[in-house]
Amino acid sequence: MMKSEMADSAGPSGSTCDGTEPIELIMKMAQELEELELENKKTDNELLLGKLERAEREHERLLSELKEAKRLHKLLMTNGHERPEDDSCPICDLPFPHDASLWMYWPCCMKKMCKGCVLKSYKHGIDDCPFCRGKQPKDKGQFIAMVQKRADTGDPEAICYLGAVYREGRYGLKADNAMAKKMLTKAAELGVKFAHLLLGQIYYCEGESAKMHKHWVAAAISGDVYARHQLGCMDYDDENYGRAVQHWKISAKMGLEGSLNAIKDLFLKGHATKMDYAEALRGYQSAAEEMKSPERREASLLPAGDWF
């Protein structure tokens, strides 16, 4: 092709129409080709270099994620294995039952009390708050107004409570996720660990897994049993059964029946040992026993409508 084009462009004397000798033209074209190849080579090298830099950055990112995951796991395996002190009833001093229908908040002081103690107090003819002797609210409207009043003065528990109410839409307040997040974030900043559990649940529903994980870790290392259970569920979903068992053993030993059942399920599927289950069962039974009292049992038999 090149030869034929060259022949066509050469004049009768062998020179080209513009007077250039064919040999000069060939050399010029060869030089241009060489320059083009050099240019392409340079571009290829730049592309390769770019790819390499991107791969290095990705490697660095993964390495730092791995380091952070290891740091968090170590933190979780060494913290939050016991229920926090404020997870016990201030009247009878027993750890609260995990069934939320068996305890209540008093809006006068925002103290959480087991219904066993409240019932005992009623039986002694005391209708007021067993902790601060504040007046009992007449109805749900007055109850939430009292909580709001305390939240307005910056009471962390009241702010957290309102955040939970906005999340679910109760006491006549419309469910409002933005408001719930705002109040729960504030409560978490003020030191209410339970707020982290609720924030994690909101982010779970919104599919924000990084934020969800961050809040559940914060709650679990402070001894929140539900957050600990959820972390086990996340590992279970990732088929990381060994770590799921580690988390669930901790929450089962804090008396969470769901975690015990989850380990049993893993044992039946061959992903946990008999020793894992036996250890969790012993821990669970001991924790469950600590949460019991005759007053609590009696209160549990009353209809839910008898309480706020």
Q: What does the binding site for Zn ion look like in residue numbers (CB under 5 A)? A: 89, 91-92, 106, 108-109, 114, 117, 129, 131-132, 134
Please report how close the Cβ of residue 117 comes to Zn ion at its closest, in angstroms: 3
Cβ closer to Zn ion: 160 or 250? 160
Cβ closer to Zn ion: 144 or 180? 144
Cβ closer to Zn ion: 107 or 283? 107
Sequence-distant (6+) residues with CB within 8 A of 157 are 105, 110, 112, 150, 187, 192
Here the tokens at position 249 are 């053993």
Please report how close the Cβ of residue 226 comes to Zn ion at its closest, in angstroms: 20
In angstroms, the Cα distances linking 195 to 80, 163, 192, 233, 249 are 16, 8, 6, 20, 23
Neighbours of 134 (CB within 10 A): 15
Please report how close the Cβ of residue 308 comes to Zn ion at its closest, in angstroms: 13
Please report how close the Cβ of residue 170 comes to Zn ion at its closest, in angstroms: 20
Cβ closer to Zn ion: 109 or 165? 109
DSSP secondary structure code for residue 81 in this structure: -
Please report how close the Cβ of residue 111 comes to Zn ion at its closest, in angstroms: 5
Please report how close the Cβ of residue 108 comes to Zn ion at its closest, in angstroms: 4
Cβ closer to Zn ion: 16 or 142? 142
List the beta strands (DSSP E) in the chain. 103-106, 111-114
Cβ closer to Zn ion: 129 or 199? 129
- Gap between the Cα atoms of 227 and 233, Å rounded: 10
Sequence-distant (6+) residues with CB within 8 A of 250 are 80, 81, 228, 259
Cβ closer to Zn ion: 34 or 152? 152
What is the maximum alpha-carbon separation in the chain? 129
Please report how close the Cβ of residue 94 comes to Zn ion at its closest, in angstroms: 6
Say how many Å lie between the first and final Cα of the chain, rounded: 95
For the chain, the helix, strand and coil percentages under 3-state DSSP, each to the nearest 5? 70, 5, 30
